[in-house]
């Protein structure tokens, strides 16, 4: 029989529910959660090594989310201790969300409380979200070079609202680079979803 | 066509006699893996952000007017007269691929490349979708292709059409990935219980029905190009959404390639290439065994792993250049837009010098091209690329 960790890596969304239900009869919900998270980590590592691809990691993410529908209520009082809170979204003008969705699930699996604002998010909406959710980190995604400029506008909007120093800013997406992140005054740049976890953890220190 | 063949013959003769080649001659000879005087340079016009050339041209204007594209192309040629090959003179991008005429709505903003906003299959069933017709953006795209071939006969400008997978992506969006997963899991499962569970999640045969439809649609689009005066020789069939990191080369060749080959076979007499960009030289060697994928459109570093500055793995270039000698297909080294935009002039020159040295020492024809010139790029860096090729890329 496959382990829960393997089922996440393989994206076995068809059988995960019954396996999780069985596991919860014999194990603590937090232990089951650990196995799910280990699967997501493993999938992320394989993606970074080029051994699996976006299609596979999306299946892993979908399977994790499916499993969490059962694990989350079972956690009950034994609530997860989150590492921190992240607000993320794709910047204004950009309606791509595959990469952002993968990052959201990976961060959630890594222990962050994630508030996903969605796509085409204006600087003003990011400002409102920071005021409302009070995250430690805000993560901005862009897939098109011509929408990247909205990252800088978002940072400027946070400055204007007087809350720039209350939140760390992480940026990512295909056209973004380390140097671009520095040039617009972001605190961190993540090359991919697994990189985003490491960078987010580093930002909390 | 006649002009291209004449130029090619002239170029071969000049190369033999050691006479300086024109840019078009150098580009064509390099494409055919013939001896040339120096490394060829290539610019994909449609990937230069229009605002960098002239602020009067934005995507709203460019997707509404064939003439606007031709005007901007002329301005681009004036600004960058020294590239050996300058092609794809259109800024319609994803708007002109045919899916809009089948029901997908695009979002077209002045400064942002057109993207799909509502997919045809979100509103209609597959059975309701029409085959593409000569209207709308597709008509503009075809008219533009014919016009460019007519006005610039010395420029290689084959038609570029979307293949079965990419067309399906533009009709179905991200849901295509779930369709693929269901299809693959059902096909590879040997256990009937498991197959039943897969069927509960969705229809595992939907993908093959959709790809059958888009294969026919892709062929229909190719025929519209042909019937409306576009010269088809060297046409390119693109499936960029099937490239890594989206899908593994194994999945692509096993499940998607048969559809790609159907389109390729339909136009075989025009010597088409189905563009596919593998993630490493090893994958490249496997990919090039497939007849539809064996052309120049695949042989580049576009999808090789990148570092945080947008530079692809330098260790792969030597292997690719050595391999290019074996199979007599020129390697194209592509500079990614973000490296061009964010790299310093010194760093860009160093990369050009490095790749040129490898090709010059190996006496292997090579092209150097730009994947994109994004907003925020200093155009002097584009000029620098030509200067650096002239400085380091001359064959002895």
Which residues fall within 8 angstroms of residue B254, CB to CB, at 6 or more apart?
A: none
Closest CA to B278 of B320, B225, B235, B335: B320
Rounded CA-CA distance A114/B315 in Å is 38
Q: Closest to A93 (Cβ–Cβ): which among B112, B251, B309?
A: B112
- The yes-or-no verdict on residue B396 having pLDDT over 90 is no
Cβ burial A61-88 (10 Å sphere, 16+ → b, else e): bbbbbbbbebbeebeeeeeeeebbbbbb
Cβ burial A130-143 (10 Å sphere, 16+ → b, else e): beeeebbbbbbbbb
Transcribe B352-393 into DSSP letters: HHHHHHHHHHHT--EEEEES-B-TT--HHHHHHHHHHHHHH-
- Residue identified by tokens 């995250």 is A135
Q: Is any Cβ of chain A less than 8 angstroms from the Cβ of B308?
A: yes
Rounded CA-CA distance B96/B133 in Å is 12
Q: What is the pLDDT of residue B306?
A: 87
Q: Is any Cβ of chain A less than 8 angstroms from the Cβ of B310?
A: yes
A146 vs A90, more confident: A90
Mutate to test the interface with B, among A13, A16, A53 (most CBs of B within 10 A): A53
Q: Closest to A149 (Cβ–Cβ): which among B245, B339, B375?
A: B375
pLDDT digit string, tens, across residues B230-283: 999 989 999 999 999 899 999 999 999 999 999 999 999 999 999 888 899 999
Cβ burial A19-44 (10 Å sphere, 16+ → b, else e): bbeebeeeeebeebbebbbbbbbbbb
Residue A201 structure tokens: 């953890």
Find, in chain A, the residue whose alpha carbon is nearest to that of B245: A53
Which residues fall within 8 angstroms of residue B134, CB to CB, at 6 or more apart?
A: B142, B224, B228
What size, in residues, is chain A? 205
B104 vs A192, more confident: B104
A80-to-A84, A147, B71, B175, B193 alpha-carbon distances in Å:
11, 36, 60, 31, 35
Q: What is the pTM (predicted TM-score) of this model?
A: 0.91
Q: How far apart are the first and last CA of chain B?
A: 32
Preceding amide of A148 cis, omega within 30: no
Q: Is any Cβ of chain A less than 8 angstroms from the Cβ of B233?
A: no
H or E segment and range at residue A133: helix A123-133
- The yes-or-no verdict on residue A172 having pLDDT over 80 is yes
Q: What is the pLDDT of residue B1?
A: 58
Q: What is the pLDDT of residue B3?
A: 65
Find, in chain B, the residue whose alpha carbon is nearest to that of A147: B112
B157 vs B179, more confident: B179
Cβ–Cβ gap A144/B279 under 8 Å: no
Find, in chain B, the residue whose alpha carbon is nearest to that of A120: B117
Closest CA to A96 of A156, A172, A169: A172
Q: Is B81 helix (H, G, I), strand (E, B) or coil?
A: coil
Chain B environment of A179 (Cβ under 8 Å) = 309, 342-343
- The yes-or-no verdict on residue B2 having pLDDT over 70 is no
Mutate to test the interface with B, among A50, A96, A146, A150 (most CBs of B within 10 A): A146
Q: Are B243 and B276 in contact (CB under 8 A)?
A: yes
With 0-12 / 13-18 / 19 or more C-beta atoms within 10 angstroms meaning exposed / middle / buried, residue A48 is middle
Rounded CA-CA distance B177/A102 in Å is 13
- The yes-or-no verdict on residue B67 having pLDDT over 80 is yes
> What's the rounded mean pLDDT across residues A95-110?
89
- The yes-or-no verdict on residue A54 having pLDDT over 70 is yes
Q: How far is CA A150 from the centre of its chain?
A: 20
Q: Is any Cβ of chain A less than 8 angstroms from the Cβ of B244?
A: yes
Sign of torsion, CA B338 B341 B342 B343? positive
Cβ–Cβ gap A146/B115 under 8 Å: no
Which residues fall within 8 angstroms of residue A204, CB to CB, at 6 or more apart?
A: A83, A84, A136, A137, A168
Find, in chain B, the residue whose alpha carbon is nearest to that of A51: B248
pLDDT-based confidence at residue A79 (cuts at 50, 70, 90): low
Q: What is the pLDDT of residue B4?
A: 65
Q: Tally C-beta pairs within 8 A across A and B.
A: 97
Cβ–Cβ gap A94/B372 under 8 Å: no
Rounded CA-CA distance B261/B163 in Å is 9
Q: What is the pLDDT of residue B66?
A: 97
Chain B environment of A183 (Cβ under 8 Å) = 342
Tell which phi-psi region holds residue A119, choosing left (phi > 0), alpha (psi between -120 and 50) or beta.
Answer: beta
Rounded CA-CA distance B370/B350 in Å is 16
pLDDT-based confidence at residue B324 (cuts at 50, 70, 90): very high
> What's the rounded mean pLDDT across residues B54-70?
97
Q: What is the pLDDT of residue A78?
A: 66
Rounded CA-CA distance B85/B102 in Å is 33
Q: What is the pLDDT of residue B31?
A: 87
- The yes-or-no verdict on residue B122 having pLDDT over 80 is yes
Which residues fall within 8 angstroms of residue A26, CB to CB, at 6 or more apart?
A: none
Chain B environment of A53 (Cβ under 8 Å) = 244-248, 251
Mutate to test the interface with A, among B49, B60, B115 (most CBs of A within 10 A): B115
Flag whether the ipTM exceeds 0.90. no
Sign of torsion, CA B182 B183 B184 B185? positive
Cβ burial B298-332 (10 Å sphere, 16+ → b, else e): bbbbbbbbbebbbbbeeebbbbbbebbeeeebbbb
Which residues fall within 8 angstroms of residue B333, CB to CB, at 6 or more apart?
A: B300, B301, B317, B355, B366, B367, B368, B369
Among B residues 167-226, those touching chain A with beta carbons less than 8 Å apart: 174, 177-178, 180-181, 185, 194, 197-198, 200-201
Residue B223 half-sphere exposure toward CB, CA atoms < 13 A = 12
Find, in chain B, the residue whose alpha carbon is nearest to that of A189: B308
Cβ–Cβ gap B244/A176 under 8 Å: no
């Amino acid at each position: 029989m496959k382990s829960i960790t393997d089922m996440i890596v393989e994206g076995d969304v068809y059988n995960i529910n019954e396996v999780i239900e069985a596991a919860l009869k014999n194990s603590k919900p937090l232990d089951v959660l650990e196995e799910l998270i280990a699967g997501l980590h493993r999938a992320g590592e394989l993606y970074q090594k080029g051994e699996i691809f976006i299609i596979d990691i999306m299946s892993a993410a979908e399977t994790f989310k499916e499993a969490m529908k059962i694990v989350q209520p079972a956690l009950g009082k034994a609530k997860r201790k989150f590492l921190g809170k992240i607000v993320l979204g794709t910047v204004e003008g950009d309606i791509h969300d595959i990469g952002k969705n993968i990052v959201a699930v990976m961060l959630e699996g890594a222990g962050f409380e994630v508030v996903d604002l969605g796509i085409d998010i204006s600087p003003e909406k990011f400002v409102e979200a920071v005021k409302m959710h009070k995250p430690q980190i805000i993560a901005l995604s862009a897939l098109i070079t011509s929408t990247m400029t909205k990252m800088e506008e978002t940072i400027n909007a946070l400055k204007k609202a007087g809350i720039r120093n209350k939140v760390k800013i992480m940026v990512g997406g295909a056209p973004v680079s380390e140097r671009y992140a520095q040039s617009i005054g972001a605190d961190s740049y993540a090359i991919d979803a697994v990189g985003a976890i490491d960078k987010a953890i580093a930002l909390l220190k | 066509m006649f002009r291209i063949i004449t130029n090619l013959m002239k170029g071969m003769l000049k190369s033999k006699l050691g006479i300086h080649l024109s840019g078009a001659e150098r580009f064509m000879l390099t494409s055919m893996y013939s001896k040339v005087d120096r490394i060829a340079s290539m610019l994909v016009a449609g990937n230069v952000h229009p605002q960098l050339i002239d602020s009067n041209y934005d995507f709203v204007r460019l997707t509404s007017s064939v003439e606007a594209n031709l005007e901007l192309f002329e301005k681009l040629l004036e600004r960058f007269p020294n590239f050996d090959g300058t092609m794809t003179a259109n800024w319609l991008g994803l708007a002109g691929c045919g899916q809009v005429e089948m029901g997908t709505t695009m979002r077209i903003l002045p400064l942002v490349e057109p993207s799909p906003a509502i997919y045809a299959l979100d509103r209609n069933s597959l059975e309701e979708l029409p085959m593409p017709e000569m209207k709308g953006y597709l008509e503009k795209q075809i008219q533009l292709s014919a016009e460019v071939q007519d006005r610039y006969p010395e420029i290689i400008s084959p038609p570029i059409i979307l293949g079965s997978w990419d067309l399906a992506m533009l009709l179905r969006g991200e849901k295509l990935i779930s369709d693929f997963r269901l299809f693959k899991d059902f096909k590879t499962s040997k256990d009937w219980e498991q197959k039943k569970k897969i069927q509960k999640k969705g229809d595992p045969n939907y993908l093959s029905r959709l790809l059958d439809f888009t294969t026919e649609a892709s062929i229909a689009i190719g025929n519209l190009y042909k019937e409306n005066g576009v010269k088809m020789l060297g046409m390119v069939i693109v499936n960029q959404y099937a490239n890594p990191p989206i899908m593994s080369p194994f999945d692509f060749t096993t499940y998607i390639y048969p559809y790609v080959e159907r389109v390729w076979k339909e136009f075989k007499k025009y010597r088409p290439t189905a563009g596919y960009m593998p993630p490493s030289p090893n994958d490249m060697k496997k990919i090039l065994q497939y007849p539809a994928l064996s052309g120049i459109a695949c042989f580049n570093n576009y999808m090789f792993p990148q570092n945080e500055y947008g530079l692809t793995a330098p260790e792969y270039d030597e292997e690719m250049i050595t391999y290019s000698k074996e199979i007599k297909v020129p390697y194209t080294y592509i500079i990614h837009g973000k490296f061009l935009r964010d790299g310093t002039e010194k760093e860009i020159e160093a990369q050009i010098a490095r790749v040129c040295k490898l090709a010059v020492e190996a006496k292997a024809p090579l092209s150097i091209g730009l994947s994109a010139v994004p907003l925020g790029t200093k155009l002097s860096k584009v000029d620098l690329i030509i200067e650096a090729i002239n400085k380091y890329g001359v064959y002895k």
